Amino acid sequence: MITEHKGARHPGLVQLITPDGERVSHPEYDPWVQDVGDDQLVGLYTDMVIVRRIDTEATALQRQGELALWPPLLGQEAAQVGSARVVRTEDFIFSSYRENGVAWCRGVELPDIIRMWRGNAASGWDPYTVNMAAPQIIIGAQTLHATGYAMGIQFDGADTAAITYFGDGATSQGDVNEALVFAASFQVPVVFFCQNNHWAISEPVALQAHTRIADRAPGFGIPSMQVDGNDVLAVMAATRIAMDRARRGGGPTFIEAVTYRMGPHTTADDPTRYRDPNELEDWAAKDPLKRVKALLERKGLLTDQLLDEVEGKANDVARQLRKACVEMPDPAPSDVFRHVYSTPNTWLDRQEEHYSRYLASLGDPAAANQAEGATR
């Protein structure tokens, strides 16, 4: 027999809360969450409830024609809240399109969360006000941006880090693998946070990865961890370990958070065409929200008062979201020409001038004014 290097040994999935809400100890990960007291636990629970409520409300808004599209994160609340809550303000986040839970934790304003999904903008917020980049739709592209940003952190000698979110499907893209190469070569402070939610639209994770996703990074010289992505504490611990290493100059880390997309890919998707309903049921039993709720219950913290309070908060957020959505003003026609360049552009200025004349010729008074005024 030929002894060959066939794959990596791994310590297995890290879990700190069982699906039944039992807190299990893990000597290596426990220290990283030992400061998480009852208040913080309640805070995490509250965040997760709100994030799920935002998701439900946005889905409803889409069904009612108020949003053009929405990518539900149902089932991924622990992965997003657990990680985002330990990213510091000065750190920078590069995410994909599904990280609305991360955006919430980051303090993104409610209208900004839905702006692009309503079709009112190509992205929702100013990245520099929340240190979170515009959501990325091109699968995997943002992992390189995070790596480049982390190169900048390194050049600046800053003690912050970048973290990038991407899916299991994204791991097949060249860009993600090139990001691992650059991150490893330059040993920059970046954390690769992969939410393995088991699906890339209709494609199961097995089509993208022949082995554990967490095994990928060590082949590039990047340490990795595989954590239960539905366990908010495990996610927190892993993210802290990784961010801490990055900030201390220890280079990149890869985290695979094993979770499950319980809803459709987007509101335009119909998972009944490709998904075994039993699989969904299995994962419903591991629901991240149920789990932290059970933990709170075991700890005697799940009072009616708390439940009411949290529900009230979530409903408030939902109401604000809905209001922000339906009241969002439409963009002006001339916005179509804005921000293509930061410097004047003769070609585009001419097109804008012609178009405003055209609108004026249709008898649109607003446009007529514009046609006479300045073009920029």
The Cα 180–Cα 256 span in angstroms is: 14
Number of amino acids touching other proteins (CB under 8 A): 83
117 contacts 60 by C-beta, under 8 angstroms: no
Burial of 364 (0-12, 13-18, 19+ CB in 10 A): middle
Closest to a second copy by CB, 244 vs 364, is: 244
The Cα 319–Cα 194 span in angstroms is: 31
Q: What backbone torsions phi and psi does residue 69 show, to the nearest 5 degrees?
A: -165, 160
User: What is the per-residue binding string for ligand TPP in 126-145, x denoting contact by CB under 6 A?
Assistant: -----------xxx------
For other proteins, the binding residue among 17, 61, 150, 194 (CB under 8 A) is 150
* Subset of residues 259 to 298 that bind ligand TPP, contact rule: CB under 6 A: 261, 265
Element at 174 (helix H, strand E): helix 174-186
17 contacts 231 by C-beta, under 8 angstroms: yes
Is 265 an annotated catalytic residue?
yes
* Subset of residues 176 to 205 that bind a second copy, contact rule: CB under 8 A: 177-178, 181, 184-185, 187
The reply on whether position 203 binds other proteins by CB under 8 A is yes
Closest to a second copy by CB, 7 vs 312, is: 7
The Cα 243–Cα 19 span in angstroms is: 26
The reply on whether position 208 binds a second copy by CB under 8 A is yes
Query: In whole angstroms, how close is the CB of 99 to ligand TPP at the nearest point?
Result: 9
Beta-bridge partners for 226? 256
Closest to other proteins by CB, 38 vs 335, is: 335
* Subset of residues 53 to 82 that bind ligand TPP, contact rule: CB under 6 A: none
Catalytic residue among 63, 88, 248, 274: 274
The Cα 301–Cα 279 span in angstroms is: 31
Tokens encoding 238: 């892993």
The reply on whether position 231 binds Mg ion by CB under 5 A is no
Catalytic residue among 216, 261, 291, 322: 261
3-state secondary structure 81-107: HHHHCCCCCCCEEECECCCHHHHHHHC
Query: In whole angstroms, how close is the CB of 144 to other proteins at the nearest point?
Result: 3
Query: In whole angstroms, how close is the CB of 90 to other proteins at the nearest point?
Result: 12
Q: Taking Cα atoms as reference points, which of 311, 360, 372 lies closest to residue 333?
A: 360
The reply on whether position 209 binds a second copy by CB under 8 A is yes
* Subset of residues 297 to 326 that bind ligand TPP, contact rule: CB under 6 A: none
User: What is the per-residue binding string for ligand TPP in 149-178, x denoting contact by CB under 6 A?
Assistant: ------------------xxxx--------
Residue 362 neighbours by CB under 8 Å, 6+ apart:
none
Query: In whole angstroms, how close is the CB of 36 to a second copy at the nearest point?
Result: 17
Looking only at Cα atoms, what is the longest distance across the chain? 83
CA 220 to chain centre: 24
* Subset of residues 311 to 340 that bind other proteins, contact rule: CB under 8 A: 330-331, 333, 335-340
Binding residues (CB under 6 A) for ligand TPP: these are 98, 137-139, 167-170, 197, 199-201, 261, 265
Binding residues (CB under 5 A) for Mg ion: these are 167-169, 197, 200
Give the residue numbers marked as catalytic: 261, 265, 274
